[in-house]
Structure 1
Amino acid sequence: MARTTIDLDPAILRELRRRGQREGKSMGQVASEVLAKALVEPQTSDAPAFEWLSLDLGRPFVDLEDKEAVRSFLDDRS
């Protein structure tokens, strides 16, 4: 098995040690199992899929291709 060094959040390190003691495994074995499982499982989310909302806002007040006209329009509104 390959060896590596990773920086872990202290809470994660405590949980890995706790699980290792509970399961009679080394912290490295537990970390390897958790990582392997996380990398194999598809990513799922309970959040609804994002959808863009597209509405017809009508005709623009200014020619959007003309940057000076846009700048002037915005300056007049402020």
Structure 2
Amino acid sequence: MNSELDAIMAFLDADTYEEKYNLLAAAHEFLSDHLINTLAASMDVVIPEGDLESRFEELKSCILTFKRFEVSRR
């Protein structure tokens, strides 16, 4: 990923929550409130205001929760 926009597009294109989690971890260098808000909105969740690292960890936690309940559709 070369930019915040690349990170957002890759996240939106991810097929599984595991992919989303890995992409979020890889996007840490582009961490911003805008990135967190955009990714959270794409998952229909709200991450409360606070410092960036706390918000980042909260979003990771949400993705892990979604991942636990993800069902493979093959």
Normalised to the residue count of structure 1, the TM-score between the two structures is 0.29
Higher RCO (CA-CA < 8 Å; seq separation 6+): 2
Could you say which structure has the larger radius of gyration? 1
TM-score (norm 2): 0.30
> Hey, which of these two has a bigger chunk of helix by percent?
2
